[in-house]
């Protein structure tokens, strides 16, 4: 599914169980930035390191999970070159990649099932950026 890609993953306590389950299907080129239990933590403590890992080019993509995905998406999008997209179903996930070339997938663990989360990950990593008119728009995102 994602062979050859380097992926950074992180979650707060609300996304911990899904993160652990996703790690089993993502392969070996994944770095887990935590959290490492379901004890209450601050989502920013995991969103910033994942975003930095993608921003620096050390990792190709990131996955962030929290209850609504809003906090991790807002945090990650503060970083230059990061396009973090909240994906909660298949229909939203396709244009996140094909139109906006999202490089961090944000999953709202309280609003999707684990099976939906797995499907969203599969779609995210199997959808190509279309480029063309979308590239022109993506190029205008960073200020």
Q: Is 99 a catalytic residue?
A: yes
Choosing from 13, 48, 87, 99, which is the catalytic residue?
99
Take residue 118 and report the two structure tokens written for it: 């797995």
Determine the Cα angle at 115 with ends 23 and 92, to 5°.
100
Nearest in space to 68 (alpha carbons), one of 103, 96, 107, 104: 107
34: left (phi over 0), alpha (psi -120 to 50) or beta: left
**In the chain, what's the furthest Cα-to-Cα distance?**
45
Q: Which of 70, 29, 72, 65 is nearest to 47 (CA)?
A: 72
- Alpha-carbon distance of 118 to 139, in angstroms, equals 29
Of the residues 13, 66, 79, 106, only one is catalytic, namely 66
The residues that are catalytic are: 66, 99
């Amino acid at each position: 599914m994602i062979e050859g890609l380097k992926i950074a993953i992180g979650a707060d306590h609300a996304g911990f169980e899904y993160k652990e389950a996703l790690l089993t299907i993502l392969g070996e080129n994944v770095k887990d930035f935590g959290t490492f239990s379901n004890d209450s933590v601050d989502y920013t403590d995991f969103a910033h390191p994942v975003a930095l890992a993608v921003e620096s080019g050390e990792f190709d993509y990131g996955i962030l999970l929290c209850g609504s995905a809003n906090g991790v998406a807002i945090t990650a999008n503060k970083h230059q070159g990061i396009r973090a997209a909240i994906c909660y179903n298949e229909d939203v996930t396709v244009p996140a990649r094909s139109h906006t070339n999202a490089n961090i997938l944000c999953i709202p663990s309280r609003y999707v099932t684990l099976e939906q989360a797995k499907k969203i990950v599969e779609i995210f990593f199997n959808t190509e950026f279309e480029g063309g008119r979308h590239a022109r728009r993506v190029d205008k995102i960073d200020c």
